[in-house]
Amino acid sequence: MNLIVDAGNTNVKLAIFKKSEIIHLETVVVDLFVEAVKKIFKEFPKIEFSIISSVGSLSKEQIKVLALFSNLHELSYRSKVPFKNSYASPQTLGVDRLALATAAYYHNPHQNNLIIDTGTCITYDMLNDFDEYLGGAISPGLQMRYNAMHYQTSKLPLLEKKELLDYIGNTTENCMHSGAVNGITLEIDGVIDLYKARFKNLTVILTGGDTQFLSKRLKNTIFADSKFLLKGLNYLLEYNKH
């Protein structure tokens, strides 16, 4: 069994894989990470290996707890990957993007893949049919756009995403919803069109926290999988065991 840890800015996802199947998944706040890890290893004593992808939210002391219970791999730009990494500055590439590219490599091998992660930021990652990671783009995520409108102005309220009745807003709040939701949808569709014009038979994979909310709004055909990053981390753990 493998324990996969995806540590974000405020929450940590913990997934247990038995071969390629997720048999347990939970999300905890950073402060409860150690407690959650101890509980997991008590309930699943057969876990031998673990991998952590962290944006820096966990302390070294918290991470050390994983190493006490398992053979730990800390994902970094030095980790082995199954594709050619042509990113110009690999040491600055987010490890989550490495994991997404790895998941695409195993999900749809030797094909053109565009992976779109709709998290705090939206990331676009391109893995071509020569199994070469090229890079992509980063832009503000959905909640970040709402936050910017509130915190960068004096009068606009702080909102959260909601379903739209019409793209023409008839109140200030509806106008903000239309701008944020339609803006991000049109951006994603526009980026997909750009990549489709350059790469033949492109497979588009949508993942991240806003997957379900955004997938039904896109005009392009996509493959949606909210657990794609976790699967990529499990593949990387297996790949780095050898």
Q: Is residue 135 a contact partner of residue 153, using CB atoms and an 8 Å limit?
A: no
Place of tokens 């991240």: 208
Same domain, 67 and 121: no
The residues that are catalytic are: 96
Q: What is the CATH number of the domain that holds 51?
A: 3.30.420.40
Q: For 173, phi and psi rounded to 5 degrees?
A: -65, -45
Token pair for residue 68? 């006490």
What integer pLDDT is reported at residue 54 of this predicted model?
85
Among 210, 188, 242, 229, smallest CA distance to 102 is for 229
Q: Does one domain contain both 23 and 90?
A: no
Helix (H) or strand (E) holding 138: strand 132-140
Q: What range does the domain containing 213 cover?
A: 84-233
* pTM for the full predicted model: 0.93
Q: What is the pLDDT of residue 194?
A: 98
Q: Which of 238, 226, 227, 242 is nearest to 50 (CA)?
A: 238
Tally Cβ neighbours within 10 Å of residue 74. 16
Q: Quote the pLDDT of residue 228.
A: 96
Please give the annotated binding residues, written as ranges: 6-13, 87, 94-97, 117, 120, 172
Bridge partners of residue 222, in order along the sequence: none
Of all helices (H) and strands (E), which one includes residue 3?
Answer: strand 2-7
Residues 96, 179, single domain; the answer is yes
8-state DSSP, 158: P
Binding site for substrate: which residues? 87, 94-97, 172
Is residue 238 assigned to a domain? no
In a domain, 151, yes or no: yes
Q: Is 21 left (phi over 0), alpha (psi -120 to 50) or beta?
A: beta
Could you tell me which of 140, 227, 219, 136 has the C-alpha nearest to residue 185?
219
Two tokens, residue 147: 């936050």
- Tens of each residue's pLDDT in the chain, 242 residues: 999 999 987 789 999 999 999 999 999 998 899 999 999 999 999 999 999 998 767 888 889 999 999 999 999 999 999 999 999 999 999 999 999 999 999 999 999 999 999 988 999 999 999 999 999 999 999 999 999 999 999 999 999 999 888 999 999 999 999 999 999 999 999 999 999 999 999 999 999 989 999 999 999 989 999 999 999 999 999 999 97
- Tokens coding 162: 């909601």
* 136 and 178 together in one domain: yes
| 202 and 130 housed in the same domain | yes
Let me know whether 98 and 40 are in one domain: no
Task: Quote the tokens at residue 204.
Answer: 């588009």
**Residue 242 domain-assigned (yes or no):** no
Count: domains in the chain: 2
Q: Please check whether residue 242 is in contact with residue 220, taking contact to mean a CB–CB distance below 8 angstroms.
A: no
Predicted local confidence at residue 41, as pLDDT? 95
- Annotated binding-site positions for ATP: 6-13, 120
Residue 210: C-alpha distances to residues 88, 105, 173, 203, 216 (Å): 29, 23, 20, 19, 11
Specify whether 88 is located in the same domain as 59. Answer: no
Helix (H) or strand (E) run with residue 234 in it: helix 228-240
Same domain, 51 and 139: no
Which pLDDT value is given to residue 242? 74
pLDDT for res 11: 86
pLDDT for the residue 98: 96
